[in-house]
Homo-oligomer: A and B are copies of this chain.
Amino acid sequence: MTSEVQQKGKLAKAASYILNIKTTCEKNEALTKIAEQLILDQEHLIAENAKDLAIGKENGMPSSTLDRIMLNKERVEAIASAIDLLVKLDDPVGKLLERIDKENGLVIEKRMVPLGVIGMIYEARPNVTIDAATLSLKTGNAVILRGSSSAKFSNVALVASIHRALEKTAIPVDAVQLIEDTNRETVKELFHLKQYLDVLIPRGGKALIDLVVNEASVPVLETGAGNCHIYVDHTADYIKTEKICINAKTQRPSVCNAAESLLIHHDWFSEHGVQLLNAIHHAGVTIIGDATVCQAVDYAQQATEDDYATEYLDLKISVKLVENVYEAIEHINKYGTNHSEAIITEDQLVADTFLNSVDAAAVYHNASTRFTDGFEFGYGAEIGISTQKLHARGPMGLPALTSTKYFVHGNGQIRE
């Protein structure tokens, strides 16, 4: 018997070949219809979502998770508005990247094309269901969604709305598939569905992402954790330093581009260290420091080796003194997660050394790490922030959901 995953994989692949040649206009029309349908269906969506919440409460789910799952009128409207913004973005499909005119008359064009079928494995966030489906459709891709059992009623209802909307459009209904069986086995089946899947995108915590990266033979678009550092060089301007450190740590501590560790040049520390630590402390941040830091201020807690490798995602920061920019670079390349790294300095040469030598998706001179974000970078959409080096690195906009294809136009050319 064919499994649900196999069956829906096959349907998605077939749909991808139709979707592949749809115009931007046809795709945008479908997106608009989905946004409208979600508003039309919102009472039903909220009612189905309530079933997930009831089960979650019964199972003693933490309130933060329940809040992530919850849909209400405002949230459904926000999801629909996000689709309207997506409609306005440029369609990357068909974009000419390169043109080669050969002496023999061959014209070779390299253009962006859809990836084909995207497999999305994610945790208990019903909004990802819509986000993944609409980003995929915008870029001409079919999608297979595998959400969490704890949002099952919500996901089924949301995908039913998408299907109702697509029925009225040029886009095949089969382009969006939801795996309803939330048994762990269906995830494993997706890991190896090379026949139908072109890429797998895990969205969720580190454990989920690591599992997919380590197990899947289908290529993975990896979005990673952020153990981000700020290095304060000996020529750093104090005002900039305080502003950037507090922003990078406290503006939204739970996200991957928040700073987790502060490296300070020992000369600078002698002059400004206590003032900076006091300012960070007063902003509500727990200081986990090395021996010198703990000597300098009594509210600091002693750092262990583990602290330097930890992404706190909390109002907590490790602080360590270093001899120079080289020690800072070495520390970051050892403990960092290749996400976002900043230097504060007035010395351009030192800045350049840092920016070139630190191995990360985004490197900052005199600015907060919090800017690593698809919307901040002006991409208008964000698939996630890639910390891998192949295909896409850093904030991924719509082009990350495309591949390329060489179109070769001839009139009888053969190779001599």
A21–B356 touching, CB < 8 Å? yes
> Closest chain B residue to A348 by CB distance?
B409
Task: Known A198-B389, A408-B365; judge A414-B243 contact (CB<8 A).
Answer: yes
Chain A binding surface, main DSSP class: mixed
- Return the contact of A412 from the options B20, B102, B198, B366 (Cβ within 8 A): B366
Q: In the assembled complex, which residues on chain B have CB atoms less than 8 Å from the CB atom of A409?
A: 365-367
A247–B364 touching, CB < 8 Å? no
Question: Which residues of A, 58-112, contact B by the 8 Å Cβ criterion?
Answer: 100, 102, 106, 108, 110
Q: In the assembled complex, which residues on chain B have CB atoms less than 8 Å from the CB atom of A100?
A: 377-378
Q: In the assembled complex, which residues on chain B have CB atoms less than 8 Å from the CB atom of A199?
A: 389-390
Q: How far is the CB of A232 from chain B (nearest CB, A)?
A: 13
A389 to B360, CA, bound (A): 24
A38 CB within 8 Å of chain B: no
A405–B376 touching, CB < 8 Å? no
B359–A414 touching, CB < 8 Å? no
A414 to B391, CA, bound (A): 29
A138 CB within 8 Å of chain B: no
> Closest chain B residue to A410 by CB distance?
B367
Task: Known A17-B333, A115-B389, A390-B221; judge A361-B412 contact (CB<8 A).
Answer: no
Q: How far is the CB of A330 from chain B (nearest CB, A)?
A: 8
- Return the contact of A366 from the options B240, B366, B411 (Cβ within 8 A): B411
A110 to B362, CA, bound (A): 9
Q: In the assembled complex, which residues on chain B have CB atoms less than 8 Å from the CB atom of A411?
A: 240, 366-367
A229 to B51, CA, bound (A): 52
Q: In the assembled complex, which residues on chain B have CB atoms less than 8 Å from the CB atom of A371?
A: 106, 108, 408, 413, 415
A221 to B389, CA, bound (A): 11
Chain A 342-361 per-residue mask, 1 if CB under 8 angstroms from chain B, else 0: 00000000000101110111
A244 CB within 8 Å of chain B: yes
B106–A367 touching, CB < 8 Å? yes
Q: How far is the CB of A60 from chain B (nearest CB, A)?
A: 35
A: interface residue count bin: 35 or more
Q: In the assembled complex, which residues on chain B have CB atoms less than 8 Å from the CB atom of A372?
A: 406
A367 to B403, CA, bound (A): 23
> Closest chain B residue to A395 by CB distance?
B406
A186 CB within 8 Å of chain B: no
A219–B393 touching, CB < 8 Å? no
Question: Which residues of A, 103-151, contact B by the 8 Å Cβ criterion?
Answer: 106, 108, 110, 115-116
A405–B370 touching, CB < 8 Å? no
A177 to B298, CA, bound (A): 49
Task: Known A108-B377, A116-B389, A240-B411; judge A406-B363 contact (CB<8 A).
Answer: yes
A286 CB within 8 Å of chain B: no
A355–B116 touching, CB < 8 Å? no
A1 CB within 8 Å of chain B: no
A220 to B221, CA, bound (A): 12
A405–B20 touching, CB < 8 Å? no
Chain A 214-229 per-residue mask, 1 if CB under 8 angstroms from chain B, else 0: 1001011100000000
Q: How far is the CB of A349 from chain B (nearest CB, A)?
A: 12
User: Beyond A251-B415, A377-B406: 14 further Cβ-contacts under 8 Å?
Assistant: A17-B329, A17-B359, A100-B378, A102-B376, A110-B394, A221-B390, A247-B415, A365-B410, A366-B413, A367-B410, A367-B411, A367-B413, A389-B403, A395-B406
Query: Across chains A and B, which 6 residue pairs bring their CB atoms closest together, nearest first?
Result: A367-B410, A247-B414, A389-B403, A240-B412, A370-B415, A362-B406
